[in-house]
Amino acid sequence: MKRTVLLLTPLAIALVGSGSAMAQGLPDGEGRDVYENVCGACHGADIVIGSQGSKTRWEETVDAMKNRGASGSEEDFKIVTNYLARYFGQSVNMNTATPAELETDLGLKKAEVDAIVAARTAAKIANFDALVKVPGVNVKELTALKARLKF
Ligand code: HEC
């Protein structure tokens, strides 16, 4: 009896983690499809959703998964690392981060950074809703980055 339970559990996890439920939870950004192909082979999006780390941390995780048998090209692993570093990177405070941090950490365009800096100089950006109302920002991209944005 015990043996049956042990065999069924990984199957149940695999079923829960597969398919569209996984795609829905992942930020829609460059590299998501590669993440799904390479990492989705063994577990769902929930293994990364809710966690945040530096690029180094994600490099280490991806390396560890290679050792566990994740298959893909070196290019695939690079894309996955960049995807995780961007959308599951450390938090950035939209009111106090320097313009350089907004540009390099979040990958925002210069014009967008200028718009955010102008807006927050006029008045503190209260929350995500206020941020996406700033004229000139890329709402789709900021939505994908939402988990990292603090105010
Ligand atoms: C061949 C199967 C397999 C693939 C493919 C795979 N993983 Fe894993 N992953 C595992 C196993 C097994 C564990 C549990 C490891 C443990 O408990 O130490 C795990 C654990 C994790 C964890 C939690 C533990 C930690 O080290 O932080 C993360 C995050 C993770 N995987 C991310 C990824 C990412 C990102 C990819 C794609 C590059 C990936 N995995 C691909 C098998 C896999």
pLDDT digit string, tens, across residues 39-53: 999 999 999 999 999
User: Per the structure, how many domains does the chain have?
Assistant: 2
Q: Provide the whole-model pTM.
A: 0.84
pLDDT at position 22 is 42
The answer to whether residues 91 and 149 touch, using CB atoms and an 8 Å cutoff, is yes
Last residue of a domain, one of 87, 108, 140: 87
Q: Of 148, 122, 123, 119, which Cα lies nearest the Cα of 54?
A: 148
Last residue of a domain, one of 87, 111, 128: 87
CATH number where 134 lies: 1.10.150
Residue of 43, 46, 59, 86 best suited for mutating to test ligand 1, as the one with most atoms within 8 Å of CB: 43
CATH number where 55 lies: 1.10.760.10
pLDDT at position 25 is 85
Distance separating alpha carbons of residues 39 and 134, to the nearest angstrom: 35
Distance separating alpha carbons of residues 15 and 43, to the nearest angstrom: 10
| Domain carrying residue 138 | 92-150
DSSP strand E in the chain: where? 92-93, 149-150
Phi/psi at 149 (5° precision): -90, 125
Residue 93, strand partner residues: 150
Ligand 1 contacts CB of residue 67 (under 6 A): no
The answer to whether residues 43 and 65 touch, using CB atoms and an 8 Å cutoff, is no
